Amino acid sequence: MADDIKRLLWDSIEQQSPELFKLACDIFDRPENGYQEFYASGLLSDYLERSGFSVERGACGLATAFRAEWENGSGGPVIGFLGEYDALNELGHGCGHHLQTPACIGAAMALRKHLDDVPYKLVVYGTPAEETTGGKIDMIEAGCFRELDVAFSYHSGRTTGVSGGSKALQSATATFHGIPSHASSSPHLGRSALDAMVLSFHGVECMREHLMDGSRVHYTVREGTGPSNIVHERAVAAYTLRAPDRPYLEDMTRRFKKIIEGAAMMTETRYEISLTAPFYNLISIPALNQAALANEEFYRLPRIERTQASNGGSTDFGNVSWVVPSVMVYTYYCDAPGHSKEWVAAGKSEAARESMISGAAVMAATAYDVITRPDLWALVKEQFRQKTSGPGMSSFA
């Protein structure tokens, strides 16, 4: 019976695919950066309303977010599908976000069509700005997602699988303020902001040698400092810290702040640090991951990676996973690394359409498992409770 329903879910998504892929291609052709996704959010909201969903535009106080709901009966699990649609600055859709929300819509509509004998609620969230400051973080602070029993996300990938986690991430900007002077005739009167910035880079490199495996640190010059024959008054740099989990990220951030302070002390300059809201690591729920992987195998998807390795990147979906049991499925799309011109080139390909269909089907089938198997739902809730409470919490992340 379950296998028959899952085949019907796939068939339903395949039948919808011309409309769903057209939505994706329209979003691809009009790339919008974070919090500017007015065309994409409007297009998707209109489609959901025409399809019978109750849609709240501007959800959680964000102009380009939305929340769409459909309910069958009452008292069953609340299933969330979280989609993105922001593009990369200058590159466009080099991360496949144009496919995500159409896949979420396909999953929700397939479930609605083929599952009517048990109670449940479906919620499709449109979430902006994942590539920049993390729209889901703002949405959590506004109270979103807490009504969900399970949250699903899909991402195109170089393989097919289930995310075993993600890195926690902290972005920072440091601005150093020096005293300007002429570098030849009166260098003794100046204090160089550029020297402070360069020292901060060296300090980061020294810290890098003493970080836990899986940690990463990146940095770049944010603003040019001027010609070489002056003592530079201002220097601005951007830094990205990544850690295996949320607690270790907090410790890395503490050490990073000392590096910036030390660089300013050594050069007798002043500094300011600006920190964005951190991305947390994605908490892996074994029962959810195993169910999703089993459905990828049921559908015989290509290039399945069964190890459930931790993702090398970071996502604000990780923050969602600290609020509600969550799973991210990914399906094969392109051989090249993400955030590349090759991913942009594949954006409207047959491989992109197949990735979207596969991701939608796996989400729908796994949601079907949660809805129809009280034992699985109970196990998911218990594993989430264990991983987000108690003194050993960080070891599970």
At 144-182, the pLDDT tens digits run 999 999 999 999 999 999 998 899 999 999 999 999 999
Q: What is the DSSP string of 80-125?
A: EEEE--PPBTTTBS-S-HHHHHHHHHHHHHHHHHH--SS-EEEEEE
Total of domains in the chain: 2
**H-run or E-run covering 378:** helix 374-387
Last residue of a domain, one of 216, 241, 275: 275
For residues 81 and 20, state if they share a domain. Answer: yes
pLDDT category of residue 1 using cuts at 50, 70 and 90: confident
Q: Clarify whether residues 161 and 174 are in a common domain.
A: no
Reply yes or no on whether the pLDDT at 312 is more than 90: no
Confidence at 307, pLDDT banded by 50, 70, 90: confident
Q: What is the rounded average pLDDT of the residues 381-388?
A: 95
Q: At what angle do helices 350-372 and 2-29 cross, to 10 degrees?
A: 140
pLDDT score of 389: 87
Pair (232, 120) in one structural domain: no
Contact 155, 196 (CB under 8 A): no
Q: Is the pLDDT of residue 393 over 70?
A: no
Averaged over 275-298, what is the pLDDT?
96
CATH classification at residue 238? 3.30.70.360
Q: Could you tell me if 35 and 102 lie in one domain?
A: yes
Model confidence at 44: pLDDT above 70: yes
Q: Let me know: does 180 contact 232? Beta carbons within 8 Å.
A: yes
Rounded Cα gap, residues 125 and 179, in angstroms:
49
Mean pLDDT of 239-251: 95
Among 275, 300, 315, the domain boundary falls at 275
- The CATH number for 388's domain is 3.40.630.10
- SS3 at position 319: helix
Residue 326 forms beta bridges with which residues?
Answer: 151
Q: How confident is the model at residue 396, as a pLDDT? A: 34
Clarify whether residues 312 and 387 are in a common domain: yes
Distance, in Å, from the CA atom of 136 to the CA atom of 365, rounded to the nearest integer, reads: 24
Beta-bridged to residue 71, according to DSSP, are 121
Q: Please give the mean pLDDT across all residues of the chain.
A: 95
- Going from the C-alpha of 136 to that of each of 38, 191, 316, 356, the distances in angstroms are 17, 41, 6, 21
The answer for residues whose C-beta is within 8 angstroms of residue 38's C-beta and 6 or more apart is 32, 63, 64
Query: In this structure, are 297 and 268 located in the same domain?
Result: no
Average pLDDT over residues 266-274: 98
Distance CA 238, CA 273 (A): 10
Asked if pLDDT for residue 248 goes beyond 80, the answer is yes
Q: Which two tokens stand for residue 318?
A: 């990780």
Residues 150 and 58 in one domain: yes
Alpha helices in 271-349 (DSSP H): 286-298, 317-320, 341-345
Of 260, 275, 290, the position where a domain reaches its end is 275
Q: 90 is written with which tokens?
A: 């200058």
| pLDDT tens-digit readout, 187-234 | 999 999 999 999 999 999 999 999 999 999 999 999 999 999 999 999
Is the domain of 154 the same as that of 231? Answer: no
Question: Is residue 271 located within the same domain as residue 310?
Answer: no
Q: Are residues 159 and 173 in the same domain?
A: no
pLDDT in tens, 317-364: 999 999 999 999 999 999 999 999 999 999 999 999 999 999 999 999
In this structure, what token pair is assigned to residue 150?
Answer: 């399970």
Q: 219 is in which domain, residue-wise? A: 168-275
Do 46 and 143 reside in the same domain of the chain? yes
Residue with tokens 């703002």: 138
* pLDDT for 306 beyond 90: no
Residue 270 and residue 308 share a domain: no
Give the Å distances, CA to CA, from 122 to 9, 62, 70, 134, 265. Answer: 15, 21, 5, 23, 55
For residue 280, give the DSSP letter: P
